[in-house]
């Protein structure tokens, strides 16, 4: 009897296995493959066509508002307490205010930033933050146009996507809670942090590389010429932080390592793609934004808007890119809003500073 049930069980398992393989649909889904490096080096991005379509639909840019009617009166003359957009016409000013409401607070409306009984009132912290964010947007579109954002530019919607607080901001990671006693030295590792792709790599990598503009000389490097590091200034823990940053950038842009690097020689600029230069500038742009525009707002944000360690919300690659190599599918969003492309606080703004220059990559693949 025992033999009978053994044979019966094996037979049932066999037929169930055949049914699984015969009906599960093992056809490979249609793929979208884009070569971005040298032929024969597997430097390509592979996605399913369905996934590409879903990502594009989720990152569609909103239609711009109808053009403003011509007018010569300036907002700084017509309205009280206009500081950033004082040299914009009244009609352009009102058009941008309506657009900002749709980009940032469509449910809350104008009252999210303004006391509608007195629009010149600065009592709401949101208005003070919004004023600084306008300056930041103009700074990005002018200073970083040739090095990172290109002709596409950014608007408030690039980060906010119709929400008062962008979905992908970050705070300094406080680390795991411990009941007491000695704190284990884990080198900032082994905690499922989204910033490190839920890997065992250091969870504080964004603080290490993206938080403060003053660390611009903190080189982000991994490769060495020896099996183990020999330079005291670059311990192996720094390499682990670098890998964590690379994982963050990869997930934030929805690409793999070969989007920027030839993985047989990761550190060699001559074998890298032009995208690596754009990413090099992007890291420095994020530091610029966090160090010059967001971190100085510490006293402006209320306590409930700060992180566990009392720091302000900051941006990273995902904040703008949202899983796409080009934010909002590469739409040229700033073209319809020229007042966001340069400073409008003075009639003639000084030319923007030129960012540092990275090493030269290989030419674009043929």
Q: How far apart are CA 345 and CA 5, in angstroms?
A: 85
Among 272, 255, 275, 254, residue whose Cα is nearest residue 263: 272
Q: Is 321 within a domain?
A: yes
Residues facing residue 169 across a β-bridge: 315
CATH number of the domain within which 118 lies: 1.10.468.10
Q: Is 193 within a domain?
A: yes
Q: Is 284 within a domain?
A: yes
Residues facing residue 33 across a β-bridge: 46
Query: DSSP character for 169?
Result: E
Exposed (0-12), middle (13-18) or buried (19+): which is 22, by Cβ within 10 Å? exposed
pLDDT tens digits, one per residue of 240-295: 888 889 999 999 999 999 999 998 888 888 889 999 999 999 999 999 999 999 99
pLDDT given at position 35:
87
Q: Is 352 within a domain?
A: no
pLDDT given at position 184:
60
Among 32, 69, 26, residue whose Cα is nearest residue 50: 32
First-last CA distance in the chain: 70
**SS3 assignment, position 319:** helix
Where the chain has pLDDT below 70, the residues are: 1-2, 21-26, 177-186, 213-235, 347-356, 362-366
Q: How far apart are CA 263 and CA 4, in angstroms?
A: 56
Q: Is 299 within a domain?
A: yes
Q: Is 326 within a domain?
A: yes
Q: Which domain holds residue 313?
A: 31-174+189-340
pLDDT given at position 366:
42
Could you tell me the CA-to-CA distances from 58 to 54, 250, 309 in Å, in that order?
A: 6, 18, 32
pLDDT given at position 33:
86
Tokens of 148: 């990172």
pLDDT given at position 118:
94
Could you tell me the CA-to-CA distances from 329 to 54, 153, 336 in Å, in that order?
A: 12, 12, 16
Q: Is 356 within a domain?
A: no
pLDDT given at position 236:
74
Contact 209, 215 (CB under 8 A): yes
Q: Is 159 within a domain?
A: yes
pLDDT given at position 195:
83
Whole-prediction pTM: 0.85
pLDDT tens digits, one per residue of 33-67: 888 887 888 888 888 899 889 999 999 999 999 99
pLDDT given at position 30:
86
Q: Which residues contact 315 (CB under 8 A, 6 or more apart)?
A: 159, 166, 168, 169, 170, 286, 289, 290, 294
User: In the chain, how many domains are there?
Assistant: 1
Q: How far apart are CA 325 and CA 56, in angstroms?
A: 11
Q: How far apart are CA 158 and CA 315, in angstroms?
A: 12
């Amino acid at each position: 009897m025992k033999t009978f049930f053994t044979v019966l069980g094996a037979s049932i398992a066999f037929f169930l296995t055949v049914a699984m393989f015969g009906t599960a649909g093992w056809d490979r889904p249609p793929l979208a493959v884009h070569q971005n490096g040298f032929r024969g080096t597997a430097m390509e991005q592979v996605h399913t066509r369905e996934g590409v379509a879903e990502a594009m639909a989720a990152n569609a840019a909103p239609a711009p508002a109808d053009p403003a009617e011509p007018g010569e009166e300036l907002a700084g003359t017509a309205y009280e307490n206009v500081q950033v957009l004082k040299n914009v016409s009244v009609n352009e000013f009102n058009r941008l205010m309506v657009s900002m409401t749709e980009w940032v607070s469509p449910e809350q409306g104008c009252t999210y930033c303004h006391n509608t009984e007195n629009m010149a009132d600065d009592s709401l912290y949101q208005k003070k933050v919004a004023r600084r964010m306008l300056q930041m947007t103009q700074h990005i579109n002018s200073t970083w146009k040739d090095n990172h954002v290109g002709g596409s530019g950014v608007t408030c919607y690039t980060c906010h996507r119709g929400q008062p607080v962008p979905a992908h901001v970050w705070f300094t990671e406080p680390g795991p809670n411990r009941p007491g006693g000695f704190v284990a030295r884990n080198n900032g590792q082994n905690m499922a942090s989204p910033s490190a792709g839920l890997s065992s790599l250091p969870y504080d990598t964004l603080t290490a590389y993206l938080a403060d503009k003053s660390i611009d000389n903190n080189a982000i490097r991994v490769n060495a010429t020896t099996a183990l590091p020999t330079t005291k200034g670059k311990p192996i823990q720094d390499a682990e932080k670098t890998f964590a940053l690379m994982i963050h950038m990869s997930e934030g842009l929805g690409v793999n390592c070969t989007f920027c690097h030839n993985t047989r020689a990761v550190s060699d600029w001559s074998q890298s793609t032009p995208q690596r230069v754009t990413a090099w500038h992007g890291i420095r742009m994020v530091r610029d934004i966090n160090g010059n525009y967001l971190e100085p707002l510490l006293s402006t944000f209320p306590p409930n808007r700060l992180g566990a360690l009392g720091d302000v919300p900051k941006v990273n690659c995902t904040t703008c890119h949202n899983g796409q190599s080009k934010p909002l599918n590469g739409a040229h969003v700033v073209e319809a809003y020229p007042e966001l492309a340069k400073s409008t606080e003075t009639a003639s703004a000084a030319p923007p500073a030129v960012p540092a220059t990275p090493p030269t990559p290989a030419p674009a693949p043929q």
